[in-house]
Chains A and B, each alone.
Chain A
Amino acid sequence: MIDATLGQIAQLSASEKESIVLIFGDKKMLPQAQYFLKERNITFALMDGQQTMYQLHYVKNLLLYLYLIEDKMRDDAMECLLRYNIVPYFEKTQIIALKKLANRKGLPCLRQLLRKGSYRRQE
């Protein structure tokens, strides 16, 4: 459907191509469309406030693992992991306490937690 739309756009004159919006009735199509256009190196913008598929909070919750595998110093990713992916969810007060301790030790949260046995002692 997007391919056909691009074909229609190609038939517009240069002036008619100056201001075009593709509005998707089904928001599930938006990520596919982004991928489709980018693969063809067609430049586009997202409407103000619209997030890329990788910025959706539930997608970000998945990507946290990748970011933490890449860089265990990333306290922002660690904080999100604790808050959104661990059940029971970590409360803000717990994270603040963890951060305070990490700062006192001069270590990022994950490194602190990954230290040998530090999270196994309570089992």
Chain B
Amino acid sequence: MFETVASQRFLQEARISKEQIASLQHHLDLIKQSKLDTPISQLEQGIRELTDGPLSLLQDQEHKFEQVESILNTFRDWTIQDTIEEIRRHITFLDKHQGRTDLVLATVDYSKSQEFETVFLIWLNKVFRQRLCVSVSRAKQRLFLVGEERAFAMNNVLSQVPGGLYSKLSHTEVQTDYVHY
């Protein structure tokens, strides 16, 4: 059976190029060499050494690369087995609660056409013009705008909000303002 798989005829039939085979070899070697108790850091090193692969191919997409890096940071000291289990737990957790409305997380783009009694718009600094309108109009009763102090100072309307409508909170790393309408 193996002879058939490895035969020139098979490879020709599948039209796999030499370049693809050469690249595939590195990926498959990495998979073969890793075990479930291998630390993520070790697997990560192997993935980084791939000239293609999920990290190399994201190099020019900063936002996506950062997200992948952030996940690697979380699991770097974990084993592959523990990481898989944690990811499954996370997905199960979300599946279990999907559909509830008492606390929903969304980005501006995904909040369109939905309404909630209370809306918290977090990281106001990153929301401008139309996106701000989309976000604030999701609120039926209460709207909280949360962001760094300078985001409020830079906005013509928000900078004039009476003091009684917002509170200023200090954190160790970030200065945060609340505005409550």
Contacts and interface: CB of A to CB of B under 8 A. Distances in A.
Contact of B106 (A21, A43, A56): A21
A25 B123 contact: yes
Interface of B: 1-2, 4-6, 8, 10-11, 13-25, 27-28, 30-32, 34-36, 38, 43, 47, 51-55, 57-58, 61, 63-64, 66-68, 70-72, 74, 80-81, 83-84, 87, 90-91, 93-94, 97-111, 114, 116-127, 131, 135, 138, 140-142, 144, 146-147, 169, 171, 174, 176, 178
Closest 3 A-B residue pairs measured CB to CB? A47-B106, A25-B126, A87-B52
Given A45-B100, A119-B24, A4 B111 contact: no
A101 B5 contact: yes
Contacts of B2: 115-116, 118
Interface string A21-36: 1111111111111110
Contact of B68 (A16, A23, A46, A58): A58
B31 A21 contact: no
Interface of A: 1-5, 8-9, 12, 16-35, 37-38, 42-50, 52-56, 58-59, 61-70, 72, 81-82, 85-88, 90-91, 93-94, 97-98, 101, 105, 107, 110, 112-123
Contacts of B142: 12, 16
A23 B23 CA distance: 42
B11 to A, nearest CB: 6
Contact of B47 (A53, A62, A72): A62
Contact of A87 (B23, B90, B131, B144): B23
A62 B70 CA distance: 12
Nearest to A67: B84
A21 B63 contact: no
A37 to B, nearest CB: 8
B105 A1 contact: no
A20 B118 contact: yes
Nearest to B50: A85
Given A19-B102, A94-B14, A1 B20 contact: no
A21 B111 contact: yes
Contacts of B124: 25
Contacts of B36: 69-70
Nearest to B10: A101
B121 A25 contact: yes
A52 B22 contact: no
A22 B103 CA distance: 7
B124 to A, nearest CB: 6
12 contacts: A23-B120, A25-B123, A31-B70, A35-B74, A58-B68, A66-B83, A70-B81, A86-B52, A88-B23, A97-B15, A105-B4, A122-B18
Give the one of A30, A87, A112 with max B CB within 10 A. A87
